[in-house]
A and B are shown apart, each in its own frame.
Chain A
Amino acid sequence: MSTLIEASTDLALRANDLRVATTLGQEILHGVSFTLQRGRMLALVGESGSGKTTAGLACLGYFRTGLEHTGGTIELSDGTDLLALTDAGRRGLRGGSISYVPQDPALSLNPAMRIGTQIMEVLRVHGYGASEAERRERLADVLTDVGLPNDAAYQRRWPHELSGGQQQRVGIAMAFAFRPEVMVMDEPTTGLDVTTQALVLQTIHQLVTAHNVAGLYITHDLAVVSEVADEVAVMLSGRIVEQGPSDRVLHDPVHSYTRKLLNAVPDLAGRHHIGEVEAVTGALPIISRERAASARVATPEVAGTLLSVRDLRLSYGKNPVLNGIDLELGRGESLMLLGESGSGKTTAARCIAGLNGNFTGTVSLAGQTLAPGTRQRSAEERHRIQYVFQSPLSSLNPRRTIGESVEVPLHMSGSFNRKQRRALVLEALDQVQLAASFIDRRPGQLSGGERQRAAIARALVNAPSVLVCDEVTSALDVSVQASIIDLLRTLQVETGMAMVFVTHNIALARHISQRLAVLHAGRIVDLGTTDAVLENPQHSYTRELLTHVPTL
């Protein structure tokens, strides 16, 4: 802890009992206080709806439409209250001494303006330097600072001509151009691949420490926090529930919410178990003998390989998406299919499930080659492979009740009457731990986690032998993710079904899978038991991935 004198000289911004409410009178922030110091980074951590972005924007004296400031101050290093300034006064500070890095650069960069012009605009508006030449020089410098080329041709590029990581660097350059005292960063690495995220975080860290900037880093990702932040403030429903040095908060949390949050974070080493069920890492899942026996009776084919994928290839026009994938999945086994965006992991999963029938190669189940598309597969084959979609917001028809949606697979099999269907639906809801009353609700009345449970129930209702889960937790908050992972493990143990778990998040590997396949540019570059791949990666891509994954 710094001494009192140091703290006062280093103070860059102090939020004091900040209150923000909707224009309809509902309070969103209930008195939030924090201090930003030069050369140090404060991470504001919270799940969706916690008010962390609202608090961050308030540091720039900015409130989104429908929100208004109702109390508290933002005190600057010279003692003035930012929120007491006029509009013109606040505008003079924004982008100048207090700058902002947005969450989604694809939406925040003006698509009709060249990137050089957008950075120059900040310098012009705030009157950087004495001449246009000086501003040009600064523009070139700041592009170098964030690790981008600074030649004239690059400055003349349009935002859509850059990759996501480059766009985010432009966003950081824009925020850093005027040499701000305070930088507010709103989840600047969300949506970036692990490797790009690591590089962007590194850039941010360098800039903040080298130029003595006070940083506020807003995020939901505790693993990232440990990489960048000196201090942490944990937010829950508009309040800061715990605040302190990041080492202390991350390793010795006081508040129960912080503990719960930390407990839910998956870690690569698998040191702790997220959720309550024992991890299934390594050995086969613990299937009770009776179940294993009955499963064997029901399917008298060869034990061992259940699903086998041979030379799966698919291209859209001239762009190859899958370049020949070979995979095998044993009975009751859980396989993680890991890949970054664009690796072809979702396409591969959809080919297996028959959602995308345009591939070449074969998918066979228990020795039987399946038709490419679900409409050509038999009802029995359709039942045995089930697929759960990424976004529970999108995978349930908002105009149907949960019961009606879950019932669809049963309805299509045509072998049950209304009463049997209802009983099976209720059983499936019970399996995913949803109360019977959910049967008559609509998706709009459910939370994200509950919707995902309902979507899983729809996949379970026909008792599949293979469950394909496509990024099922990526749209969910970390604590909800933990409960869904928990649920999937439980189900796997109970039903003995095999599972393909598609994800971009390698940290989940030890929590969900026995074997791990790493997909890169449409090819499997690493395949083996989870421990083997994580401890002894064969491919340079996997090694790179492992070095860049943030850990607590």
Chain B
Amino acid sequence: MTTIDTHSEPVTDTPPGLMRRIIRQRQAKIGLVLTGIVVLVAIVGPLLLPWLTGYTSTEFAGRPFQPGGMFGTDNLGRDILSRFLDGGLTLLVYAALATALGMLLGTVAGMLAAYQGGTLDSIIMRGNDVLLALPQLVFALLAITVLGPQGWVVVLVIGITHAPRIARVTRAAASAVITEDFIRASEMYAVPRWKILLKDVLPNITGPLMVELGLRMTYSIAAIASLSFLGLGMQPPTADWGLMINENRIALTLQPWGVILPVLAIAILTVGSNLITDAVARASATVEESK
């Protein structure tokens, strides 16, 4: 039998991959540069101490509020640059862990709710509603009240409070995919359910999930920094950007660098990650359109 390729219909062009679409956008480039700078400072910073400044971050450089060093000393006389260089890594690591936890819980719950439907769906979604009724920060504060301001508590509670929000997005995206006939087809061939979720559903919701990943990372950074800022996250004498702001904000007029440096770093980081997220959202939207 001969093979025909004379179908008169127009064939859509191959859409370039999601990654290429993201990188092509100017704001994604700006976002990557901004985030890159801060992440680099946070990772390399601790390695440079005390070689670069002459101090570790908890050593006392001199009297409080001295102009010595590049940015002076803080209220306890510690070198601000040293504290700044040492203060970003924990924030990033905690934020990444909390985000990963939230993504894992939320994606699994959302996909199960969408695919199984029925009672399981109701239970998961009603549970979500309950968790969502408490604002993230209030939930975190409640947990910290009873469990104390410790790293694992912060990671756990931020992760868990992300989960229902991620689950909602996942469920919505997955529900749209699940109405498609290729899911019916896989069911018709008795493909195991976990395999349908993994091979048919998950690859088709990567766009919204990546947007969610970026968004939740931005919010994790903000939430964890906020807790430290309130004095309820990282505890002294840890060097941490959020905590630095808390410790130095009273002396804003005397020694602005102690506040400005960490505020700037957090601002650049969150703006950068949000720019990337927005670029991802745009890119995945155009992929959807061209389908």
Contact = CB atoms under 8 A, between A and B. Distances in A.
Asked if A and B touch directly (CB within 8 angstroms), the answer is yes
Interface of A: 47-49, 353-355, 374-375, 377, 379, 382, 387, 389-391, 393-400, 405, 408-409, 412, 430-431, 433-435, 444-450, 458, 477, 479-480, 483
A447 B1 contact: no
Contacts of B189: 374, 382, 408-409, 412
A450 B203 contact: no
A435 B6 CA distance: 12
15 contacts: A47-B9, A48-B9, A49-B9, A379-B190, A382-B188, A397-B204, A398-B291, A400-B199, A434-B3, A444-B12, A445-B12, A447-B7, A449-B9, A458-B185, A483-B7
Contacts of A382: 188-190
Given A49-B10, A389-B181, 5 more contacts: A48-B9, A354-B188, A412-B190, A430-B1, A433-B1
Given A433-B1, A434-B3, A447 B191 contact: no
Given A397-B204, A412-B190, A444-B291, A435 B5 contact: yes
Contacts of A396: 182
Q: Residue among A47, A398, A430, A479 with the most chain B CB within 10 A?
A: A398
Nearest to A387: B188
Contacts, number: 96
B182 A375 contact: no
A353 B188 contact: yes
A479 B8 contact: yes
A446 B7 CA distance: 10
B253 interface: no
Given A374-B190, A430-B3, A395 B185 contact: yes
Given A382-B188, A382-B189, A447 B11 contact: yes
Given A433-B1, A445-B14, A408 B185 contact: yes
Q: How large is the interface on B (under 10, 10 to 19, 20 to 34, 35 or more residues)?
A: 20 to 34
A392 to B, nearest CB: 9
B278 interface: no
A91 to B, nearest CB: 29
B178 to A, nearest CB: 11
A390 B190 contact: no
B59 interface: no
Given A391-B181, A448-B9, A399 B190 contact: no
A525 to B, nearest CB: 28
Given A391-B181, A433-B3, A374 B188 contact: yes
Contacts of B185: 387, 389, 395, 408, 458
A394 B12 contact: no
B191 A412 contact: yes
A431 B15 CA distance: 28
A367 to B, nearest CB: 23
Contacts of B199: 397, 400
A133 B9 CA distance: 52
Interface in B256-291: 290-291
Q: Residue among B12, B185, B290 with the most chain A CB within 10 A?
A: B185
A331 to B, nearest CB: 23
Contacts of A47: 8-9
B121 interface: no
A480 B15 CA distance: 24
Closest 10 CB pairs of A and B: A447-B9, A395-B181, A399-B203, A389-B181, A394-B181, A397-B182, A394-B180, A435-B3, A412-B189, A449-B7
Contacts of A433: 1-4
A477 B9 contact: yes
Contacts of B200: 397
Contacts of B11: 445-447, 450
A49 B12 CA distance: 12
A444 B1 contact: no
A49 to B, nearest CB: 6
B81 to A, nearest CB: 48
B182 A395 contact: yes
A389 B188 CA distance: 11
Contacts of A448: 9
Given A389-B184, A435-B3, A444-B15, A480 B191 contact: no
Contacts of A387: 185, 188
B169 to A, nearest CB: 19
A185 to B, nearest CB: 25
B25 interface: no
Contacts of B129: none
A435 to B, nearest CB: 5
Nearest to A386: B188
A399 to B, nearest CB: 4
Contacts of A412: 189-191
Q: Residue among B4, B5, B9 with the most chain A CB within 10 A?
A: B9
B122 interface: no
B18 to A, nearest CB: 11
Contacts of B191: 408, 412
Interface in B181-216: 181-182, 184-191, 199-200, 203-204
A394 B182 contact: yes
A394 B184 CA distance: 10
Nearest to A393: B291
Q: Residue among A48, A393, A399, A434 with the most chain B CB within 10 A?
A: A399
A218 to B, nearest CB: 19
Contacts of A450: 7, 9, 11
Contact of A408 (B9, B186, B290): B186
A394 B291 CA distance: 10
Given A398-B204, A412-B189, A444-B15, A480 B7 contact: yes
Contacts of A409: 189
A379 B10 CA distance: 38
Contacts of B14: 444-445
Contacts of A480: 7-9
